[in-house]
């Protein structure tokens, strides 16, 4: 390489290196993405829903309880999460499946509706514990 071209190459590498360094400072893995891992709870009109969720990529599993004046019922939960959309199916022995369809509105809150097993468009907001 000719000295003049070598100098241009070194200058180019130095400028690119400085530009990349200036863009740094954050997590090398990029921004963290929201997830549903952990405890969630919410109440509306005398109905309380609590859930302990585990997320693996877009698959969600967990358990929980739904409580009303009629009692408390254990739930087995499965579903999907594609930020911000949340779709969960909740099963309780002796009852039809219950679905929650909603959106993560922040890293610690999701809002949606319950349908099935006596619910029809029942709005509820769940907050991360």
pLDDT in tens, 36-91: 999 999 999 999 999 999 999 999 999 999 999 999 999 999 999 999 999 999 99
For residue 31, name the pLDDT band (cuts at 50, 70, 90): confident
Tokens (6 digits) for 108: 């610690």
Higher pLDDT, 24 or 107: 107
Residue pair 129/38 in contact (Cβ under 8 Å)? The answer is yes
* Nearest residue to 92 via CA among 110, 118, 69: 118
pLDDT reading at 5 higher than 90: no
Tokens (6 digits) for 9: 């190459």
Counted residue by residue, the chain has a size of 129
Residue 120's H or E segment, with its range, is strand 119-128
pLDDT at 21: 44
Contacts of range 106-114, beta carbons closer than 8 Å, 24 or more positions apart: 107/34, 110/36, 110/40, 110/86, 112/86, 114/49
CATH of domain 38-128: 2.40.128.120
pLDDT at 26: 46
For residue 33, name the pLDDT band (cuts at 50, 70, 90): confident
For residue 32, name the pLDDT band (cuts at 50, 70, 90): confident
């Amino acid at each position: 390489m000719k000295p003049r071209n070598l100098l241009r190459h070194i200058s180019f590498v130095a400028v690119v290196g400085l530009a990349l360094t200036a863009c740094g400072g954050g997590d090398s893995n990029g921004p963290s993405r929201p997830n549903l891992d952990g405890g969630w709870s919410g109440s509306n009109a005398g109905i309380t829903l609590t859930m302990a969720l585990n997320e693996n990529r877009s698959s969600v599993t967990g358990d929980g309880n739904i409580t009303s004046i009629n009692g408390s019922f254990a739930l087995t939960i499965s579903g999907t999460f594609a930020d911000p959309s949340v779709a969960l199916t909740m099963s309780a022995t002796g009852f039809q499946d219950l679905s929650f369809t909603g959106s993560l509105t922040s890293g610690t809150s999701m809002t949606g509706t319950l349908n099935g097993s006596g619910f029809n468009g029942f709005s509820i907001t769940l907050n991360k514990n």
